[in-house]
Structure 1
Amino acid sequence: MPHFQHSSETYYNRELSLLDFNRRVLAQALDSSLPLLERLNFLIIFSRNLDEFFEIRIAGLMKQRDLNAIARTPDAIPTEVVLDELSQVIHDTVAQQYQTLNHAVLPALQSEGIRFIQFKDILEKHRAWISHYFSKEVQPVLTPISLDPSHPFPRLVNKSLNFIVSLEGKDAFGRAIEMAIVPAPRSLPRLIKMPVEVEGSAETQIFLTAIIQQHINDLFPGMKATGCYAFRVTRNADLVLAEDVDDLAVALKDELSSRRFGRAVRLEIEDDCPQSIIDYLLDEFDLSEQELYRIDGPINLSRLSTSFNRPELKYPVYTPIIPKVFRKQTAIFDVLKTQDVLLHHPFDSFQPVINLLREAAKDPQVLAIKQTLYRSGPDSDIVQVLAEAARNGKEVTAVIELRARFDEESNITVANILQEAGAVVVYGIVGYKTHAKMILIVRRENNQLLRYAHLGTGNYHAGNARMYTDYGLMTTHPDICEDVHRMFQELTGMGKMAKLKALLHAPFTLHTELLKLIEQEVVAAQAGKYARIIVKVNALTEPQLIAALYRASQAGVRVDLIIRSICCLIPQVKGMSENIHVRSIVGRFLEHTRVYYFEHAGEKRLYCASADWMGRNLFSRVETCFPILESRLKKRIMKDGLLNYLDDNQNAWEMQSHGQWEKVVVEAGAEPQNAQKYLIAQKISTV
């Protein structure tokens, strides 16, 4: 395929696109049709997403700007221009976030008896209890730090809560101290439940900031605090590891300690803070007004995440369903010998995956278990079962990706647990993250070694499996199992690229084969045949695939893209992409499935994968893409996982030709269609 030269006319900036996704998340909090506590939860999710956006994406752009590096992005927009546009959009969006919180969500919660008390809300009836709580629980662990020649500005941890205090008077040593910093210890809760007898409600929580601000003078006896302002600094949290490290785990531990004190990229401070103090902090953190966010409310809304026993204010409880085939007292191995099983989480329970490993750990006929782990956690059932299998004498091999962002420390702990149990732990390939989701079990049956495999689109994490939509395939198909075996050999040993029969895998064949599959649809369309492509992924950024999809559109191929977050392709442009439609689903569950469908001259090829259509997935990660071979499963994914989402008119957004997103509205006379609700109802009907 000839090289396609992108520009801002053909390639939408990825940072702006990711920010667009976060704005779609925020829009859920504005939707009065959603349960009230779920609206609050979407505000919290937006805050967490924005934190990571600053820690990784904004931090990377600022580093490019500081180094005067030319960003070689396909849209060719200068870094400074992107930062300016992002800043403007983020400032507007944060203002909208707090407008929604202060004037919609919090008042509605208060009308339901749920109240969050800030400093401005403290009443006379609260003071005695606050004073007692401060003296007993808070003051003993606070460490005020004066700012003077012998006490330089302290090194503040990434995203930690702090107060800057303006002072009058002299301290015990006769010094006229004008300012001090009071870090809020991380050991203290950010929200404290107030007693019913004080507030008159069982569901009232007070912010730690309010308690400290109420008693800030107690920390500076003999002096007067003339102002106390909460602030938070966000830092660059990306990790950079050298390619030639001797021990990946040791190198990663060293880098983790530096993440807490990376270059400052954002300052959030209460909006009533005087400009002189703000200027002082900006200078201290080497930031400009562009990186300053004046906050009208609690700083860091993720701290509002708390449990309330108010089911009427939440989504109806849904318990994932065990598929019928596993409800009988039949061994999972016996089931899989007769058929492939497809799990669609969270509508299907994740328990069969755990049970498969649990059976394997105890089965005397099982000789070996191999598994990739990207995000699992040391307390997960899967890690405990793998450790048990190793103690039971099974040959357990775990390929653990230590560099899964923000889970690095947890993954080091997982590695230690499994190594102590006797498992072989491999950290994958330096320079290539192991993002594939694979389990392989080797079992002796009738004097033969048989293989059982599980392949998935999502992580082996039971918590995620209740909140993310993902597919998992359990199979004994010989070619697939042989390919999984070869991929494990590739990950743990040395040698040439594994030649696979059924699977496509990155960084070797996946990108090339995807281009071929798209081109085959082009050829079919040019020959007057029906041609169609449907892709459901989390992100689409890879320039060559985008160019290939433009070519497909121009040839008359019908292209439907269901992209959760980043989409750098621009649809509906006359002469370039008018046959391409892009939609995003933002609902109760985080859409995470990766499914690729190609009409393929009526053969209807359908794949599930661990890979998004991003350069990092296709060239810098180990990924799997597995075909769905059984026609009944292929039809099920097509109906439930693709067409169902294309019909959604409740949670869907569509990307326009100018790169912006518009919420899909129900047309007059049309039936409301909610893809996730449909799948829940469908599963409940099988019980």
Structure 2
Amino acid sequence: MTTNINFKNPDYYTNRELSWIDFNDRVLEESRDRSNPLLERLKFLSITQSNLDEFFMVRVASLAKLASVDYPKPDASGLTADEQLRAVNKKAHAMLTKQYTTLQRSLLPAIEQHGVYLKTMAELTTEQYEFVKSYFHDELYPVLTPMADDSSRPFPFISNDSLNIAVQLVKHKESTHLFATLQVPDVFPRVVRLPGAKNDFILIETIIKAFVGALFVNYRVKEAATFRVIRDMDLDVAEEDTSDLLKEVQQQLKLREHGHVIRLEVESTISKKLLKRLTKQLDIHEYAIYEVSGPIDLTFLNELVKRIVGLEQLKYQPFTAYESPELNHDHDIFKAIRTHDWLMHHPYDMFDPVVEFIRQSSVDPDVLAIKMTLYRVSGDSPIIRYLGRAAQNGKQVTVLVEVKARFDEQNNVHWARQLEKMGCHVIYGLIGLKTHCKLTLVVRREQGGIRRYMHMGTGNYNDVTAHFYTDMGLFTTNADMGIDATNIFNMLSGYSEPPYFHLLHISPQGIRDFINERLNQATKLAKEGRPVHIQMKMNSLSDQPMIAHLYEASRAGVKIDLIIRGICCLKVGIPGISDNITVHSIVGRFLEHSRIYIFDFDGERSFYLSSADLMTRNLNRRVELLFPVLQEDLAERVSRIYQTMWTDNVKTRVLQPDDTYLHVDRRGRPALDAQTLFTQQATERAEAQKATERRSPTNEFQPMLSPENQPTTLDDGSDTN
């Protein structure tokens, strides 16, 4: 076997950004899939827009900055920044066409069959016309502010992601063309319900354009066209030290609003004259101009779905998440975790026990300290309230709040301030690193001495997203993991460099070293002719050294199965290189967010969960956590979960050698939708538990908790089931 193979050959890699667009196209396919409920298809189309917006604000913005200085170094696939920028925009233009074809030819006609109409002015009844006319003059007119664009009044600043109307007009009896812009106010709902039918709607910009002439007395409006800009919104925070990090982040948040324009969306009916004016004023390349045949910014579809009355049958049917009674607020959660480890699989398992863990810790007199990392939390987080209560109850509470969590910076700065006011000790992590691990450590005094209780997870401590992100978590009192967790918090809060960790693996570098070690071991065993099987599930795979190592293992005969929701820079089907690698992607009702790493070395299996994807940022520039699942029954459950997802033949798409993704051919095989199966199993378990409780009513007297100790109801409007 020849060993002189360059596993870093650019031909062996797919460009990261183009792979991301392929992922968003898989989301778009869900909006075109007639087997999905109709209103959910509208939401999938809305998601493609919000995904694309964030992608341009961050990733495309970074490419634009590199291209502007002629950065010469190519990426793993051999493309320069300028080549990537042009290729991304070319592919995004094709996606735009597909998005609006889906909307106009498929989804809008389909919802009209159910009595839902998004109307133009010409389609209004007399009653509806009088309504929108009054709505404009009574509600909108006093708020609207036209901004002239001429030699004495410069072109106004157009804020990121705002909806605007460009106006071309002339003064009566004169021929000189004048220009103005008008921002569509976001203090009003974009989707306006019309009278006369329960599901007739019109967009606010349609109303404004119809009556915009009222804002320009003695002038004639020749044209009014909607447009939107996407700006560079990436933070550029200097981190010489963390003492003023909050101030630095807050300052950058203000500056971010004025980033360069990297994408301009305009109505396709706009005149060349008006488009030229906008292009010149916004200083944007031609390839970054997107002409839209329909309403700009499809995120309005999510608002539309929320406002539709009835038609619940056109949405996903609700399911009941399972909660073990031993982990609810009527039981001692510490006793439950002392008895054995607990594996949580959200959203099929309720997130409530994680919140309850913090609640009971906040009021338990034997709890001495709570230490926790927070990357993203909800806008009204019960966890934040309980951490504050714990501090007020005299517990030592240390919270690492990652104030650099992208697009959650403002929310996290707010919570950091609130936690400090409540008496918590708040830290902001290590210089140059984001803290992305999900870890809680509770220190409790017990009869036998100090005991450490832990929760480790693959996803955020966010009680809202836990309802539609699939994640996994582990409750344990494992002593070695507890020592490791203590060392992690000492490393984050002070000056500590533990020489080794017992069972946990920490990035930067630690997770890379661990997986490299496993791949080396797998390669060695495979060369000896022993069966080796590696199974991994993650959001993204883009790290070049890690992909090269997977290629090397594959070449040696290691069987590698990968479930990757999003970016995959690895190519399959390269003869002699990736013959033994298969890649699946699942896009469905829930966002697949859990990370699973399983190693089977000649029948000796080990199971790990992690907060980290195999991306360079996760392995090199973030504090991440990879932890083992040691309890045999829980390890088997992880195995079953992975195997169920691997055999999914409804939502799974398989990566092909040409970088396309194809649905599994299930001819002659029964349909298996993993997410649907998990929801069914959760509901069955929940219903069986309720039936057991009905058959065995307790006769024990339950002491009433004081108001201070009562569990707090989640009042964020989300369905806790």
Tell me the SS of whatever aligns to 1:305.
helix
Residue 249 of structure 1 pairs with residue 246 of structure 2: yes
Aligned to 2:679: 680
Measure the CA separation in 1 of the matches of 2:5 and 2:458. Answer: 30
Q: Cα 1:118–1:51, aligned 2, differ >3 Å: closer, same or farther?
A: farther
Aligned to 2:661: 661
Measure the CA separation in 2 of the matches of 1:127 and 1:416. Answer: 49
Aligned to 1:302: 299
Matched ranges for 1:633-652 at <5 A: 633-640=634-641, 642-652=642-652
Measure the CA separation in 1 of the matches of 2:295 and 2:320. Answer: 34
Deviation at 1:497, TM superposition (A): 4.0
Residue 201 of structure 1 pairs with residue 197 of structure 2: yes
The answer for unaligned runs of 5 or more in structure 1 is: none
Deviation at 1:323, TM superposition (A): 2.7
Deviations 1:153-192 (A, max 9, x none): 0011101111000101169xx9966111111122222112
Asked if 2 retains the 8 angstrom alpha-carbon contact of 1:650 and 1:665, the reply is: no
Measure the CA separation in 2 of the matches of 1:21 and 1:418. Answer: 37
Deviations 1:251-307 (A, max 9, x none): 000000111120000000111000111111111111122101111111111122221
Deviation at 1:3, TM superposition (A): 10
Deviates more, 1:120-129 or 1:342-351: 120-129
Q: Cα 1:151–1:122, aligned 2, differ >3 Å: closer, same or farther?
A: farther
Residue 134 of structure 1 pairs with residue 136 of structure 2: yes
- Alignment counterpart, residue 236 of structure 1, candidates 207, 232, 236: 232
Deviation at 1:120, TM superposition (A): 5.3
Tell me the SS of whatever aligns to 2:10.
coil
Residue 272 of structure 1 pairs with residue 269 of structure 2: yes
Tell me the SS of whatever aligns to 2:377.
coil
Q: Cα 1:328–1:185, aligned 2, differ >3 Å: closer, same or farther?
A: closer
Measure the CA separation in 2 of the matches of 1:400 and 1:553. Answer: 40
- Residue identity in the other structure for 1:21: F
Measure the CA separation in 2 of the matches of 1:202 and 1:545. Answer: 55
Deviation at 1:74, TM superposition (A): 1.4
Tell me the SS of whatever aligns to 2:27.
helix
Measure the CA separation in 2 of the matches of 1:319 and 1:286. Answer: 52
Q: Matched residue pairs, number?
A: 679
Deviation at 1:5, TM superposition (A): 5.3
Tell me the SS of whatever aligns to 1:178.
strand
Measure the CA separation in 1 of the matches of 2:218 and 2:73. Answer: 54
Aligned to 1:55: 57
Asked if 2 retains the 8 angstrom alpha-carbon contact of 1:342 and 1:474, the reply is: yes
Measure the CA separation in 2 of the matches of 1:665 and 1:3. Answer: 34
TM-score (norm 2): 0.92
Measure the CA separation in 2 of the matches of 1:122 and 1:299. Answer: 21
Matched ranges for 1:87-102 at <5 A: 87-102=89-104
Asked if 1 retains the 8 angstrom alpha-carbon contact of 2:343 and 2:634, the reply is: yes
Aligned to 2:38: 36
Matched ranges for 1:401-550 at <5 A: 401-446=402-447, 448-497=449-498, 499-550=500-551
Deviation at 1:448, TM superposition (A): 1.3
Asked if 2 retains the 8 angstrom alpha-carbon contact of 1:378 and 1:414, the reply is: no
Aligned to 1:84: 86
Residue 10 of structure 1 pairs with residue 9 of structure 2: no
Deviations 1:294-340 (A, max 9, x none): 11111111122221343101000123221354369421000011100
Residue 260 of structure 1 pairs with residue 257 of structure 2: yes
Measure the CA separation in 1 of the matches of 2:256 and 2:431. Answer: 20
Asked if 2 retains the 8 angstrom alpha-carbon contact of 1:377 and 1:414, the reply is: no
Deviation at 1:201, TM superposition (A): 1.5
- Alignment counterpart, residue 224 of structure 1, candidates 211, 220, 224: 220
Deviates more, 1:264-273 or 1:238-247: 238-247
Matched ranges for 1:568-647 at <5 A: 568-640=569-641, 642-647=642-647
Matched ranges for 1:364-403 at <5 A: 364-403=365-404
Measure the CA separation in 2 of the matches of 1:70 and 1:544. Answer: 21
Aligned to 2:284: 287
Deviation at 1:545, TM superposition (A): 1.1
- Residue identity in the other structure for 2:226: A
- Residue identity in the other structure for 1:229: A
Measure the CA separation in 1 of the matches of 2:375 and 2:596. Answer: 20
Q: Cα 1:214–1:591, aligned 2, differ >3 Å: closer, same or farther?
A: same
Measure the CA separation in 2 of the matches of 1:553 and 1:423. Answer: 49
Q: Cα 1:356–1:162, aligned 2, differ >3 Å: closer, same or farther?
A: same
Aligned to 1:65: 67
Deviation at 1:72, TM superposition (A): 3.9
Aligned to 1:161: 163
Deviations 1:662-681 (A, max 9, x none): 122322x1111111111111
The answer for unaligned runs of 5 or more in structure 2 is: 687-721
Tell me the SS of whatever aligns to 1:462.
coil
- Residue identity in the other structure for 1:662: L
Measure the CA separation in 2 of the matches of 1:638 and 1:240. Answer: 41
Measure the CA separation in 2 of the matches of 1:244 and 1:509. Answer: 24
Deviation at 1:378, TM superposition (A): 4.3
Tell me the SS of whatever aligns to 2:299.
helix
Asked if 2 retains the 8 angstrom alpha-carbon contact of 1:370 and 1:440, the reply is: yes
Asked if 2 retains the 8 angstrom alpha-carbon contact of 1:439 and 1:454, the reply is: yes
Deviation at 1:81, TM superposition (A): 2.3
- Residue identity in the other structure for 1:217: G
Measure the CA separation in 2 of the matches of 1:413 and 1:2. Answer: 55
Q: Cα 1:533–1:447, aligned 2, differ >3 Å: closer, same or farther?
A: closer
Deviations 1:335-358 (A, max 9, x none): 011100000000000000001111
| Identity score, percent | 37
Measure the CA separation in 1 of the matches of 2:417 and 2:285. Answer: 43
Aligned to 2:210: 214
Tell me the SS of whatever aligns to 1:348.
coil
Deviates more, 1:76-85 or 1:98-107: 76-85
Tell me the SS of whatever aligns to 1:343.
strand
Measure the CA separation in 1 of the matches of 2:448 and 2:4. Answer: 53
Q: Cα 1:120–1:209, aligned 2, differ >3 Å: closer, same or farther?
A: farther
Tell me the SS of whatever aligns to 1:276.
helix
Measure the CA separation in 2 of the matches of 1:555 and 1:129. Answer: 72
Deviations 1:68-117 (A, max 9, x none): 11244111112232222222221111111111111111111111122222
Tell me the SS of whatever aligns to 1:261.
coil
Measure the CA separation in 2 of the matches of 1:591 and 1:678. Answer: 15
Deviation at 1:385, TM superposition (A): 1.0
Deviates more, 1:653-662 or 1:611-620: 653-662
Deviation at 1:424, TM superposition (A): 0.3
Measure the CA separation in 1 of the matches of 2:164 and 2:540. Answer: 36
Matched ranges for 1:303-318 at <5 A: 303-306=300-303, 307=306, 308=308, 309-318=310-319
Tell me the SS of whatever aligns to 1:608.
strand
TM-score (norm 1): 0.96
Aligned to 2:709: none
Q: Cα 1:48–1:281, aligned 2, differ >3 Å: closer, same or farther?
A: same
Asked if 1 retains the 8 angstrom alpha-carbon contact of 2:361 and 2:390, the reply is: yes
Measure the CA separation in 1 of the matches of 2:639 and 2:58. Answer: 35
Measure the CA separation in 1 of the matches of 2:399 and 2:123. Answer: 53
- Residue identity in the other structure for 1:280: R
Tell me the SS of whatever aligns to 1:474.
strand
